[in-house]
Structure 1
Amino acid sequence: MQYALEGSKKIVALLEEYFDQPFPYPKLDQIGSPVMPGAMENAGADIYGDGILFVDEGSSTEDKRTFGMVVAHELSHQWFGDVVTPAWWDDIWLNESFANWMGYRIGNEWRPDLDIGVSAIDEAFDAMQIDALGAGRPIHQRITRDADIDGTFDQITYGKGGQVVAMIAAYLGEEKFRDGVRLHMRRYLHGNATTDQFFDSLASAAHDPRVLESLRSFVDQQGMPVVTLKHEGGGLLASQSRYASFGSNLPPAQWIVPVCVRRAAVRSCTLLDGPDGAIEAKGDGVIVPNAGGWGYYRFDMDPADWSALIAAAPTLPEGEALAVTDSLWASFYAGKAKFPQLAALARAMAAHPASNAMLDNGERLRGLQQRGLISDAALPAWRKLIVDIYGPKLAQLGFDPAADAYASDTPDRKKLRGEMVELLVGAGGDPTLRGKLIAAADAYVAGDDKALDWEFTQLALPLYVADKGVPLAKAIADKILANEDPAAREIVFDAIGHSGNPDVARWFLVDFRDPRLPQSVRLRTAKSLLDSPGTRDIAADYLLANPDSFSKAGGGIFSARAGQMFNVLCTSVAADAVDAKLRPQLANDSTLGLDRTVDTIRNCARFKDAKAGEVSAAVMGK
């Protein structure tokens, strides 16, 4: 608990400085819970799932990053949410969107070496996947019935809302935005406030009403813009339209988009408030749209501009690199960009110094196989592509799974090594790396604590379970449930869920009924079985036949999300089955999560049916 105590002290001090107010309550308890699936802010008493709060310096980089972000998020609510409380559920988006932005911002200040802040951009891109669907909602919506409340606690509120806040803060400038927040806190201290009152506080500090019109255009309507840049005369012309996946037919929409473009060291920003218009792009050199990466929009360009940007990819700041990757892949899934462009970007970005930027394309390449876009004939060439791009990078880093082999490395370098090994073992199918990890896991389970570093445990144990099968899964499940270490419990059941072993999946779903296992962990394990291609069909068939076994797991605001685990499926038949089985379970609940899931499956199936042959041929060089 010492890590949580010291970390909380520092985070509170940073928040006091930002809000320019002392901690507002007479005491603060940070409470760990074995049954809480997330975290909740109560005035003077925040509650966290054990695995979030109880970490230490020896924990994995990802665990420490989660601690920093979530603790900063919940503690920021002590001011923005508790001292100034939303007037009604209509305004809950602002409570959570602001805290999400603050969680990344303050978490990054707390431990810059963990690179927490840039993950906000990744979360925004996850939200964009949902925001591109036909089924959806705006961030700010009227709440008139209890069933609609659950739906507001989703990635649109957290990921999109947090990024829209970040976009406006970046456009206004940190000081003006902070001044608006401080004014808002003073105006409504120990009271309630609406969305419009927060906007008014920003307007009073910023003296720029058009920026607030831009903010409203993003929070009051569903979807996101794609901004297309073209050269015209000696300048740059931007046009906007609603982003849509391949084959989908969405109604048009328009935003007031703060478009920021960078050329060399010169950053130029323009509010694009019509379907098209000239934008500033001062300076010389490669055009980098979405300067900084904080804009909640995607962009597209002419092929020549894309080629120049891809060539410059390794030199881009991390946020911009992530935005480039997301926009090119979005263009691909809209049916525009081609696979050779994706491969070129992956090769270029592999030279980027930041782990997130370096591996983002690799994770997206892996997604092609998970979506069924890589044929059996193309699989060897696809795996060779992965190994050719990332194998030399791991060779430079070195790989030894033993504990403390890389104790002196930076957190980002440790994270990079672990994720690169996972990519090469999973997508690349590297047998040598797989053998090393299984041997290390074998020694670790046998009692050699030094055989396997914590950073590799979550990668090695699934391989070990896959190799040894049900007897090992039974043994480690029983052993870990006999003690009360929540972090170890999560790792063991993640290993079972990600093993990809069909026999293990059948045992866990059908035969395993240990009452010591919390329902939230059971749900998480079932979701992992769905995520793994080797166990996906088994898990889908069982869960659809037994919806009561997972539909309410987790409880509270988290239960409404359970059906979204099926969004990894990718056939029209699966979409029909999910709809038919789950919709009757939601008679008195919001159907938004299910509508999104069905929409996601249909989009995936439509793209796969149209493009799988083309993608596989391109992978094989045909």
Structure 2
Amino acid sequence: MSLTLDEARARAAALSEISYDLALDVTSPEDFRSRAVIRFTTTGGGTFLELHRAGSLDVTVDGETVTPAYDGRRIPLDDLAPGKHEVVVDARLRYVTDGEGLHTFTDPADGERYVGGYLGLDITQRLFACFDQLDLKAPITLSVEADPAWTVLANGLPTGHNTFAPTPPIACDLFVVAAGPFHSVRWEHAGVPMGWHARRSLAAALDRDAAELRRITEVCFDHFARIFDEPFPFDSYDQAFVPELNWGAQENPGCVTFNELMLPRERVTDDDRRRRAMVIAHEMSHMWFGDLVSPRWWEDAWLNESFADYMGFEVAETAAGYAGTRVSFEAVHKPGAYDADRRRSTHPVAPSSEEVPDVATATTIFDHISYGKGNAAVRQLVTWLGEEDFLTGVNAHLTRHRFGNATLEDLLSALDAASPRDVRGWAEVWLRRSGHDTIRVTRRDDVPVLTRDGVRPHRFTVTAYTPDLEPAGSRLIDLGDEPLVLAEWAGLIVVPNAGGETFARIDLDPLSRDALTGGLTAVPDTLARAVLWPVLLDADPLRLLARQLPREPSPTLMAAALTRVRDHLIRRVLPAAEVPAALDVIATACAATGEEDEQRAIVLARGLAWSTADSGLLRRWLAAGATDHGLSLDPDLRWSLVRRLAELGGVEAAEIEAERRRDGTDGGVLGAVEALAARPAAEAKAAAWAAMTDDPDISVRRFRALAAGLWSPSQREFVAPYIPAYVAAAPSLARRGSAFAAEVGRAFPALALTDQEHDVVRAALRDDVPTVLRRHWDDELDDRTGG
């Protein structure tokens, strides 16, 4: 049962002055105690609290013990008199291993245990009894009973041993608690206590990066203090790398959690640093946009994510000093947004509330539209309005609704007052409509002409190049209904949106396309190449990769091109018989001889590790602990080699187990799981499938590793029986929860399917398929068959 919009509106109209006093006891490894004291004022009548699958339950209402008709999800509160009430819910709940609730994790490196409340849509109720909706914000006071040797982290400022001061009013899905023997680096900046934390076995990695992490934190904090009128709204600011977080990070007020993938055990690449800086800026911007001011309902989730995603890339690039962050957005994130906007599941960046009728539907809009397209739309808005007017409107909005909830209309009112432009007209075509425009380059004789297919106003940079791809000029232009004739650039190559300021498909004229296809890497501007790589890859991916990848100077663009070809061509399109030849093209493009740039060498080695069929090379690298050119193998690269060797039938279970023992970490456990599943043997596939489907408590990461090993585009004879088995089993697996449902959807067979196999999926979709899984399957069908 998922909360509906109508239920949320009715409950919000009836309730006010809510507060929570929460006590948790996590000393038992079997289950935990959750005692919540909920105080509120009501207009009278009935309402309900949410609490998911309590093992035991005691409830008092205004001091009187009651026995509510608890159904495992909701606690009815009937016949309440108007006025103030106090409800106490004392329950025992199960830990989870899927990251939705109070997650438990035991570190194989040292046997230490960690727990973490990673919340979100419809998840707070798995930790404590609450009114689980966005617009019933409330202060939360917390105390935790835990191992005395543990560190406990939470939203509020510590007031004693594992006790925390009441938070300001926050949405309950933003509550967080994390406990375990964390290694911590603490300091104070601008009067705010700050800290970075990681589990004990990652202490060396945290200490290695601590100075950089502190610098980014302080630079971003100071930047937001300059551009926002509202001061930092919380009492402290902790940031913690926590085990098995399902997302990249989560913007819990005063205590942000990060996926541990952002703290690599060994090698940290330049792209790793850029992404981490972007995510730090993204989550910190949420302290204002999302936490201080929150949406009223989930149709305005974009107000959180689009704004933060824009700020993350912008601030990492311009304030934190990570040049190339915008390049990564254009090359890595924006292409996925264009893909998403062509599917049947596309939706407006800002849908109407009626288009999000319940929380289950809301979970499906945290996607490439809300992030990638929304980010691009915000950047276009800033370009179109000017940064000064944009920030004036944003600041008025934040001040007017501080510690409250707001809607798109509220933001538009503030922006409209700050700018002479037609902000509402802009929002109608950019935010309220799905789809995107196409910007075309045509020729009148030899003169380039820009036209727009669509309805949106665009402001962007257009750049001209000589036939030898030397820069010949650049202009910031506005494009609307009327064609734009570029007479001064007759005979030149033209690249629209060369600065990535807008969100529109690019259709190049034949002269420009031919010149750029043949000489893409000669374009000197990396951001322009980031715009062009995805456009040209769509036309002839293997040919472009073979010709241009070895000459591409940007490791970011190299990695993005390799990933797109692998995920879209190899794993979705090519028949099994054509996969080996395609992989050979990729391996040849990656086989650099003596690459001097270490960052490029890393990308090429990683690409070669998943594409080569040369078992001798794989074994040689493993034995040496380095590539033929002396690049040392970090754990991820080493496991990629083992996985590919297993896929080729070149390694047995005993050797994989020896690698797992050699590694000794949770990453090694997952690497071994994937490699074992990747072996081309019926027994290996059967064991992987059984592991995916027989354990009701399997972790998200283990399920993901098994699926990654199970499906191989070149092993159709071994995996074909599991295609219908997956379709049959997936709906039941997906009912475990939204995060696990998403993982089941991402486990869709990663190889080209036959028409008959696609029909099996279509037939299943005519039955009862959970909302999140249905979205993933519909998208896969659209990407593979057009519907």
For residue 397 of structure 1, what is the amino acid of its counterpart?
A: E
Structure 1 unaligned runs (5+)?
A: 242-252, 333-338, 399-412, 444-449, 605-622
Q: CA deviation at 1:26?
A: 0.6
Cα 1:62–1:271 change in 2 (3 A) is closer
Structure 1 window deviating more from structure 2 (309-318 vs 360-369): it is 360-369
Distance 1:430 1:76 in 2: 47
Question: RMSD across aligned C-alpha pairs, in angstroms?
Answer: 3.9
Deviation at 1:107, TM superposition (A): 3.6
Aligned CA distance change for structure 1 residues 596 and 345 (closer, same or farther; 3 Å): closer
**Structure 1 residues 586, 462: closer, same or farther in 2, change over 3 A?**
same
Which one has a larger percent strand, Structure 1 or Structure 2?
Answer: 2
Give the distance between the partners of 1:353 and 1:90, measured in 2 at CA.
41
> How many Å separate the matches in 1 of 2:392 and 2:373?
23
Q: Percent identity?
A: 23
More helix by share: 1
Structure 1: how far apart are the matches of 2:432 and 2:710?
34
Q: Using the alignment, how far apart are the partners of 1:222 and 1:232 within structure 2?
A: 32
What letter is aligned with 2:595? L
Q: Note the C-alpha offset of 1:460.
A: 2.1
Aligned equivalents of 1:322 and 1:442: distance in 2? 30
- Measure the CA separation in 2 of the matches of 1:226 and 1:209: 22
Question: d(CA) in 1 for partners of 2:579 and 2:380?
Answer: 41
Between the aligned partners of 2:617 and 2:216, the Cα distance in structure 1 is: 40
- Asked if structure 1 preserves the Cα contact closer than 8 Å seen for 2:693 and 2:733, the reply is no
Per-residue CA deviation, residues 124-176 of structure 1 (Å, 9 max, x unaligned), is: 11121121123332221122323321111112111221222223334545555
Tell me the CA shift for residue 438 of structure 1.
3.8
Give 1:79 shift: 1.3
Aligned to 1:227: 439
Residue number in structure 1 paired with 2:148? none
C-alpha separation between the residues in 2 aligned to 1:490 and 1:282? 58
Q: Is the 8 A contact 1:257 1:272 kept in 2?
A: yes
Aligned to 2:619: 435
SS in 2 for 1:72: helix
Alignment of 1:97-496 (within 5 A): 97-108=306-317, 112=321, 115-121=324-330, 122-142=332-352, 143-174=356-387, 176-209=389-422, 213-232=425-444, 235-241=447-453, 254-263=455-464, 264=471, 266-274=473-481, 277-278=483-484, 285-314=492-521, 315-330=523-538, 332=539, 339=540, 343=543, 347-348=547-548, 350-358=550-558, 360-366=560-566, 367-373=568-574, 376=577, 380=581, 382=582, 385-386=585-586, 389-391=589-591, 394-397=592-595, 413-431=597-615, 433-440=617-624, 452-454=633-635, 456-466=637-647, 467-473=650-656, 485-496=665-676
Task: Note closer, same or farther for the CA distance 1:361–1:149 as it changes in structure 2 (3 Å cut).
Answer: closer
Q: Is the 8 A contact 2:549 2:589 kept in 1?
A: no
SS of match in other structure, 1:293:
coil
Unaligned runs of 5+ in 2: 1-197, 199-205, 465-470
Q: Tell me the secondary structure at the aligned position of residue 767 of structure 2.
A: helix
- CA radius of gyration, larger in: 2
Contact 2:461 2:475 in 1 (8 A): yes
Name the residue aligned to 1:615: none
Q: In the alignment, is the contact (CA less than 8 A) between 2:439 and 2:452 conserved in 1?
A: yes
Higher relative contact order (CA 8 A, sep 6+): 1
| Cα offset, 1:281, TM superposition | 7.5
Quote how far apart the aligned CAs of 1:595 are: 2.4
| 1:563 corresponds to 2:745 | yes
| Greater mean alpha carbon deviation, residues 317-326 or residues 451-460 | 451-460
Deviation at 1:95, TM superposition (A): 0.7
- Provide the rounded CA distance (Å) in 2 between the counterparts of 1:67 and 1:440: 31
TM-score using structure 2 length: 0.62
| SS at 2:556 equivalent | helix
Do the aligned residues in 1 keep the contact of 2:570 with 2:713 (CA within 8 Å)? Answer: no
Moved more, 75-84 or 265-274: 265-274
Are residues 490 and 149 of structure 1, via their aligned partners in 2, closer, same or farther at CA, if it must alter by over 3 Å? same
Task: State how far apart, in whole Å, the 1-side matches of 2:549 and 2:380 are.
Answer: 24
- Give the equivalent residue in structure 2 for 1:551: 734
Cα 1:185–1:135 change in 2 (3 A) is closer
The one-letter code of the counterpart of 2:727 is L
- Residue 231 of structure 1 contacts residue 237 of structure 1 at CA under 8 Å; is this kept in 2? yes
Counterpart of 2:444 in structure 1: which amino acid? E
CA shift in 2, pair 1:51/1:600, >3 Å: same
- Would you say the 8 A contact 1:322–1:360 is kept in 2? no
Would the alpha carbon gap of residues 532 and 14 (structure 1) be closer, same or farther in structure 2, given more than 3 Å must change?
same
Distance in 2 (CA, whole Å) between partners of 1:10 and 1:530 is 39
Normalising by structure 1, we get a TM-score of 0.76
Deviation of residue 425 (structure 1)? 4.5
Quickly say closer, same or farther: Cα 1:322–1:343, change in 2 above 3 A. Answer: same
Q: How far apart, in 1, do the equivalents of 2:705 and 2:287 lie?
A: 33
Name the CA distance, whole Å, in 2 between partners of 1:195 and 1:59. 39
